[in-house]
Structure 1
């Protein structure tokens, strides 16, 4: 793209940046190719390529860089993508205001959660949010922790909840707290009479762990390295609920943060035991795009999460509210 005698003058105006071309551009970035965007939008690939090529020509800048397996945005392309997402959010904010004037209940707040974090939003945050914002619908979607940043960057959610945030350009943490990972046992387990359980003791027991690609499992791998042990789990699972069921059935033990078994602990069917001499913590982050504007409703939601979500209520350390 961007040939046409290597034009350098800028002739594009703000009116050229209409919703359709910006949608095409964001979809190309999300799909990683013009062909993928064409299939997703049900538009001819040649039409998308022509629109983006014409925009590059009029900007006098290359917006996409071709790679063997698709395209990636250039520096100018990333700036355009940020602009497009902000414009989309502003448009949604205006439409929500119009809906309010019409008495329609169509405001939407979208949260993308890593596994194990959505339940407590429903229990502890949703009732307060509904009371404060009765005309707003809360959308919660579950994704692997590794996918949260991509969802936010593509404009698929307003905020995300994830574990052990990996630095990512364009994403910032606005709220975080750490909790220890504990041994999870059933209510009648003999270890409840002991106070010094170490990693080497776990290796000799039937153990249920999350799959190796799960963010929480990667924290345990760090502990294995530090303690010089290698866990050979009896059961590996993709979801926390399966691990809880394994422990409740009396077949073995697991390792999880306390907040993931809060309901079962309150019901008296599961108990948590701290690891002796080798504490291991997981940090839960609330994240957003760097360019995301913190409007009053989002600020209020962050306050509710900080005050009421169990993953953000560590037993020892305080919650850290990062500057917006």
Structure 2
């Protein structure tokens, strides 16, 4: 492939995909947009087919473009793995790890596995990004992230789960809320009279809630829809209403002593699990492999134990 296609044009093509537009890629590459467009056009001639198609104000890969991008990402991953193995042989600890996680996992990572790892490996750089469930899955599958932490990923043969533990969805309310006085597991219908907050549909937690709504034949009214777990916590602590979410959605910097975690009756809301994932079949570099093992070990020892504790 490298003998046939110009390496520079391939790099421009991948930057266009990463940026979502020719203009965005040109800004990153510090080039004129017309030059980037011409380079991609020449690459399409070399391939004998269109690689990009206009989508709104940006561009998206065609089927051929998607095949080429997967090949190039896999090639880059294999190259990085080779270099990392050589570094490991020479006992030189350097490299880079990309992690993408749900917002609720960030504090835990920084207080446990990631803090420990970065103290022990000061020469290894780490990129830690927050994403929705759909974004995390997409980045791991596209090999733009080595490790992903999220709630209930979809069944996909391209994903490998290294660890999971139960993460039930509960109704989070102030202890003074009327729902906290019912003294029993809640039905979704119990929530109907009260204002609530929820995550957007790209989050696994919200997808679980919608499945439960269908099962019980209700549609919960929502006062606040957000992409932020912290916003859910603030909503509850401020006494604005309830939030259907997991224990991890309560940020540790909030005063959550007065928050009650109420169990739900619907079995679907008890089936969710937190997962640590990577791309199935991907050869992780030694540094990423070591961090992955540390995360799995720490999760089994801390968050797994917390998930077995009765709700407070």
**Bin of the TM-score, shorter chain as denominator length:** 0.7 to 0.9
Partner of 2:122: 134
Report the alpha carbon displacement of residue 216 of structure 1 after superposing the two structures with TM: 2.2
Secondary structure of 1:232 counterpart: coil
Q: Partners in 2 of 1:212 and 1:65 — Cα distance?
A: 28
Counting only pairs closer than 5 Å after superposition, residues 29-108 of structure 1 correspond to structure 2 as: 29-31=17-19, 34=22, 37-45=25-33, 47-48=35-36, 51-52=39-40, 54-55=42-43, 61-62=48-49, 64=51, 66=53, 70=59, 72-75=61-64, 77-90=65-78, 92=80, 107-108=95-96
Task: Answer whether contact 1:149 1:168 (CA < 8 A) is retained.
Answer: no
Partner of 1:302: 292
Task: Answer whether contact 1:207 1:252 (CA < 8 A) is retained.
Answer: yes
Alignment CA distance shift 1:62-1:256 (3 Å): same
Alignment CA distance shift 1:73-1:153 (3 Å): farther
Task: Answer whether contact 2:149 2:277 (CA < 8 A) is retained.
Answer: yes
Report the alpha carbon displacement of residue 15 of structure 1 after superposing the two structures with TM: 4.8
The reply on whether 1:25 has 2:13 as its aligned counterpart is yes
The reply on whether 1:205 has 2:205 as its aligned counterpart is no
Larger Rg: 1
Secondary structure of 1:224 counterpart: helix
The one of 236, 239, 248 equivalent to 2:228 is 239
Task: Answer whether contact 1:115 1:145 (CA < 8 A) is retained.
Answer: no
Partner of 1:274: 263
How many equivalent residue pairs? Answer: 301
Partner of 1:194: 183
Deviations 1:78-111 (A, max 9, x none): 4432332234345556777899999998532111
Alignment CA distance shift 1:295-1:24 (3 Å): same
Counting only pairs closer than 5 Å after superposition, residues 257-268 of structure 1 correspond to structure 2 as: 257-261=246-250, 263=252, 268=257
Task: Answer whether contact 2:198 2:243 (CA < 8 A) is retained.
Answer: yes
Q: TM-score, normalised by structure 1?
A: 0.72
Alignment CA distance shift 1:212-1:78 (3 Å): closer
Q: Partners in 2 of 1:288 and 1:179 — Cα distance?
A: 19
Partner of 1:112: 100
Q: Which moved more, 1:113-122 or 1:245-254?
A: 245-254
Q: Partners in 2 of 1:68 and 1:210 — Cα distance?
A: 26
Alignment CA distance shift 1:312-1:234 (3 Å): same
Task: Answer whether contact 1:82 1:291 (CA < 8 A) is retained.
Answer: no
The reply on whether 1:158 has 2:150 as its aligned counterpart is no
Secondary structure of 1:174 counterpart: strand
Q: Partners in 2 of 1:291 and 1:82 — Cα distance?
A: 13
Q: Partners in 2 of 1:19 and 1:245 — Cα distance?
A: 49
Task: Answer whether contact 1:207 1:253 (CA < 8 A) is retained.
Answer: yes
Partner of 1:10: none
Secondary structure of 2:100 counterpart: strand
Partner of 1:9: none
Q: TM-score, normalised by structure 2?
A: 0.74
Secondary structure of 1:85 counterpart: helix
Q: Partners in 1 of 2:7 and 2:238 — Cα distance?
A: 54
Q: Partners in 2 of 1:119 and 1:127 — Cα distance?
A: 10
